[in-house]
Every structure is written in C-alpha cells, then in structure tokens.
Structure 1
Amino acid sequence: MTRTQSLMAMLPFVMMGIIAAADILAGSQYVFLSLLAIGPAFASLVGGIRRTVLIGLIALALSLLLALYNDLLRAPESDLSLISISGVTAASILATAGRQRRERELANVRSVAEVAQRVLLRPVPRRAGHLRAAVSYTSAAAEARIGGDLYEVVTGPSGVRVIVGDVQGKGLEAVETAALVLGAFREAAHDEPDLLGVSARVEKALNRRLTGEDFVTAILAEAHPDGTLTLLNYGHPAPLIIRADGGTAFVEPDTFAPPLGLAVLEVPGPTPSQIPFGTGDQVLLYTDGVIEARDRAGRFYPLADRAHLLKEDDPEVALESLRVDLVAHVDAPLHDDAAMLLLRCRRF
C-alpha cells in the first residue's frame, strides 16, 4: 500500500474521531451526530466491502454513544443521525463494489498487456557480433499504463543492428503497434544492405496501419566491426555515448526528423550520423521514461551525471545499477515505462 493509500485508509477514522471530539467539547448545545456519516462516505475510497461495513457500524456505535452522552438517545437528532449514517453506508457499499469491479477489470487488462509485452520483448543476446548487450525494462505501476516501449538487437550483414523505440499511447493498441515495428525490423535487419533500407521497411509497415495521428519515436543504430556506429534518429531522445576513457556525450542528430509513421507530413527522413565506436566504448539507448522521470521535488533524472554507474565490467550489472538508481530517484511508482539498452564494444 502506498503512502497516499495509507492516508486514505486512515481518513474515515480520523474524521469520525475529530467529529466525536468536537461533539463532546461542544456539549449538548451543538449536535454533530449526523456528521459522523462522513466516515462511511470516505470508506469507499480504499479497501473492501467488509471494511466499509465495519466503518459504518463504528459510526453507528459512536452516534449512539454520543447521543447517550448528550441525553439525546430518543431525540429526533439521534434518529436522523442513525438514518443518515445507514443511508451513506449503504451507498458507500455500492460504491466500493463498483470500484472493486473496475479494479479487477483494470488488473485483467494490464495482465494481458504485460503478458503480450513479455512475449514481444524477448531477451536480447548477451553477445552480438563484436558487442556485449544488456537491456532493462521497468514498467509503469500506475493504473494500466503498460506502454509501447520496444527494443531489439539483430546481427545483420554488415554489423549489429538495434532499435529502441516508444509508441505513442498506452495499452494493448500500443503493444500491437510495437509488435508491428519489431516484426518489420527483425525481417529487414537481416535483408537490407544499409540502415536506411531497414528504416524504410519499418516506415512502410507502419504507414499501412497507422492513421496519421499515431507515431513511433525510435533510434536505429548499426555498430560496424571497423569501429564506427551509425545512428538514425526519428524524434527520439539522443543516445548517450560513454567513452572508454570515461568521457560522455549525447549524440544529437545532424538533422531532426519526425517520428516513424508520419509519412503523411512528407518531411525528409534523418541523415545518418556516424561516430567512432571503438574498444571499451559504450552507447546507452533509452526511452523518454528515463529522462522524464521526476523526483518528489519535480527534478528530472540526471542521466549524464549517472553515467559513472555504467563502469561495471558486466554490462548487465552496470545497467541494473542504473535502473536501481532511477527508481530510487523517483522514490515512487514510475509514471511511464522506462526501457534502456546498453551496447559495449568488447575487448578481444
């Protein structure tokens, strides 16, 4: 139970306690008995039907005790209080039943989406060509905000090809779009001679399905054995390069391009960016759920300042350290899915 839920769970008891204390202090001149119905009214916010009934019974008992204390046991004020509390308790029971039904439906939808996502996002190989790879995926815990974050690593004809993307929207529709993107990428990555050909195949597959209002931000990358890295950025957060000597930099695209799936805009695609990527160098590809994660003070996650966490010899251990730090920074359930893919040029 979260801190907010704990506070909401205590609210009915706190309110009834305050009202009872006020009634005792005010004496028989002022009657607060009917206000005890506030307790059962708040009971439907959290918990089950039994808890709501229990709070209603406590409110009735308090009303009778206070009426006895004020010598109002058979007075109209007491009768009105009992009727009000009973009515509000009955309404609260119905509200609790409706909330629990919606929560079960939401949990079922989220469960289906999570299963589909786990099937879709299969584990990446720990070794791919001349690279070592590690992946981390942290789902948003709020409601059914399962997202369309995606990633894949494929060894192609001229190097290791990867994609990291983020589908606009949430839920099963986002997972379906992610499946379309990954299916097209997996097929094209083996066949196309260059990265632009791969992206063109993905774009074509998306444009057959999307309406023009939906889109997918993505980074496509290809690591060549000759020590270079080619990047195509479709409206996605810039990758973070960590050099073997500890230097870090975000690789901004030479030309900004719209996300995939927006061919209707008739805007030219990105120009491939090529950078050195030698032994010991690393590149971190991620979705916006990482850099847009905020702490309780509203500060964004300082990804560049945390690059030192990726110095571990094992890429999986390094990426897990970064994930743990991200969760600790937020200190609450993430509001958006956060996917990270770390590629490291191996030392032979």
Structure 2
Amino acid sequence: MKALVLAGGTGTRLRPITHSSAKQLVPIANRPVLFHVLQDVADADIKEVGVVVGGTADQIRAAVEDDDSVNLDITYIPQEEPLGLAHAVLLARDFLGDDDFVMYLGDNYLRGGITDLVAEFRRDRPTAQLLLARADDPGDFGVAELDASGRVVGLEEKPAAPKGDHVVVGVYLFTPAVHEAVRAISPSWRGELEITHAVQWLIDRGADVRSTTHSGYWKDTGNVAALLDANRVALESVEPLVAGDVDPATELVGRVRIAEGAVVRGSRIVGPVAVGAGTVITGCRVGPYTAIAERCHIEDSTIEFSIVLPGSSITGVSRIEASLIGRHVEVTPADPAQAPAPAAHRLVLGDHCKVQISS
C-alpha cells in the first residue's frame, strides 16, 4: 500500500505567512503540519509516499530532506496548478500503479493518526473508504449521506442544504478502481476535478464505498484560527523536557519542553509550551499554548496562545496573544508618547516584518 500526500495548495487563507513559505510547513508544536502527516503515514506502516507539490516544491523538498525524523521513500509529483484532488490522483497514476493507497491532505492535523483506519481498510478492502467527522457547519465541507449500515450513498461538495452532519475529513483510502473514476468525471463549477465527484461516480456504479467516523480531534489548518487551535491540541501531547539552560530564577509550570541549546533566564513559562533550539528567553511570561521555534529572541515580553516561527525577535512588548508571527520578524515597542497600549496585541505577521507597537 502507498500514500499520496497533497502539498501543492497555495494557502491564500494564511497570508501573509504564505506569501513567502508553504502553508504545509507552518509548524504546530514546533513541527511543520506536513511532518505530522508524514509521521501518521509512517506509523501506519506505509513506506512509499508520493508528495504532490506546486509552486513551493523547492521549499517542501528542502524541508523534508533536511529532516531525518521520518524514514520514508518519497517521490515528488509536480502539479503546476491546484486543479482539484482528483486531478492530483490523475497526475500520480504512474507512481500509484495498481496499488491501494491512502490520500492525505498535507495541511490537516488528525489527533490519533491513521493506523487503525489503514488496518481496517487492509482487512476489509472496500473499493473506497472515507474518514468522516461530525461538524456543526457541514455546508463548509464535502458532506456524506450514509445508509443505516454506515455505507456512503451520496456525496455533495459544500451543499447549501446539507443532508447530514457527517463531513469528509482530508483522508481517503482507495483501491485502483478510483483511477477509472477520476478519468470519467468533468471539472466542477470551480474548474477543479473534485474527488467527491469521483467517489460519487463509484457509488452510482454500485461500488462498495464505506466510511469511518473519527470521534477525536481533526482540523484543516488552512486559516490562522484553525492553525492556532491545532497548535493548542498538539502541545497537549508534547512530552515535558528540559534539555536547555534554565536558570534558578525561572519558574516552569506544567507541560514545558525546552530544547537543547535554548536559554531561559528570569522567566515564567506556563505549559503547554515548546521552545526550540537556540532560542533565548529573558524576563518573560510565556504560555500557555505557545510554541516558539528555534533561534528566536524573546525579552521583557508576555506571549500566550501563539506561534512564533524561527529567527524572530520580540522585545519589550507587554502582551501578545492568539498571534502567528513569521520567520525573522522583529517586534519592538513604539514611542511611549503615542496612544496607550491595548490590553493585548493580536498579530499575524509575514516573514521578515519589522513592527513597532504600543506597549
């Protein structure tokens, strides 16, 4: 069995971060979302992975090749334009051959992984199997209509009047029968080849399309609020570790992970928090639910419920919360004679910004 991981999307809802980097490489709990996906694939005992890449192909390839935490045999499959999930299956035909495969969206975070789901598919081997979850807003997703036995009898992409609350999570399992389906369908009104249309094509021809409902946490990390929420959940699973240099004047509370090479002085860190290698934190209050990546400098500041990407500096800022701060950003106080500071600052900053704010 193989895996097809889709990492070609442009991430327009995560701008300005994605103006200069791939959305699949934005970290949660100091690890790129894509790496969480690849770890799930490896844990399911799948070795051969096709990664569909677009305009950020060089960044994704460099990041994956620089990381040795996941041992996989990876083939990169270029997709010049994001023309739909079924289009990605078409492009991957030579790589997939006649093998069964799992297709996993590279910007999804699924707590608990896919090991049990893959084992179930291998045992029963239906034509296709969809991972579903219940949603309060099903009209924002692909919606599955189920019969009494849990088989999928219909699919609609973002319907105005959903027939249920079971939505399609970004994990699909297929036998080679799907290749005929993706060749048979036409582009949707969005100009894309929809995988939901391909699955519906299979259903209409009597194929055995089954579903599994995921009762745990799942998030499409395509916007800032979703990314911060996934970071919150991922941090709850981080194992506490103090491998860096933490002085006696620092207080660590709860689940805190300080990487080797990090330095913390005179600060209060309230977990769950992850601090990356080479980061220096002095005179700060950090956390909860905050991930500060490697080589950052945080001084005389308060930050919580946030993600800070590598190489950034925050100095003398009284309170930052629910923020996504890009790579090599500098945040400093503005002239104190300006307007009084708000109770908290919420920032979404792209790479290499320099910002002065009232503090």
TM range (shorter): under 0.3
Tell me which of the two structures has the higher relative contact order, counting C-alpha pairs closer than 8 angstroms and 6 or more residues apart: 1
Higher fraction of helix: 1
- Higher strand fraction (1 or 2): 2
Please give the TM-score of this superposition, normalised by the length of structure 1. 0.20
Provide the TM-score with structure 2 as the length reference. Answer: 0.20
